Amino acid sequence: MTTDYRVSATSSANERFGLSQYMFVLLIPALLAIIIFGHVSVASAPIKHMVAATAVFGILSIYLIVSGAMREFEALTEDTSEEEAALHVSQENKKQPWAGYQIYAIVATGLPLILILMAIYG
């Protein structure tokens, strides 16, 4: 793997992590504000379904972006040259619990979704 490609792929994954953070920080409070101030829990069924669908698709998009970025980082740590593999940073990156990070991403995106759906339909 060339150094230019590695830098480009790392930069791309970092940008996707940043995008997912912005989406998470904007989407969750916006949905909560709509639910609370729009009285969605007492609204008609089509409005509840629309807000719920927005929450599901928005949070699913966030998860897919984060998961893809993590898979790219994992692939970058596995595909290294001999010189790169000898570096301390490469050795530490190979020890990262990538499956654990994926589980954390599911929990970190799933819990807000559950809470939002409970606020809408509860």
Global pTM value: 0.83
pLDDT per residue over 39-48, tens digit each? 999 999 999 9
Return the number of other C-beta atoms located less than 10 Å from residue 19's C-beta: 15
pLDDT per residue over 11-50, tens digit each? 888 899 899 999 999 999 999 999 999 999 999 999 999 9
Report, as an integer, the average pLDDT of 84-110: 87
Q: Which phi-psi region, left, alpha or beta, contains residue 97 (left: φ > 0; alpha: ψ -120 to 50)?
A: beta
Instruction: Domain ranges for the chain, please list them.
Output: 3-121
CA atoms within 13 A on the CB side of 64: 6
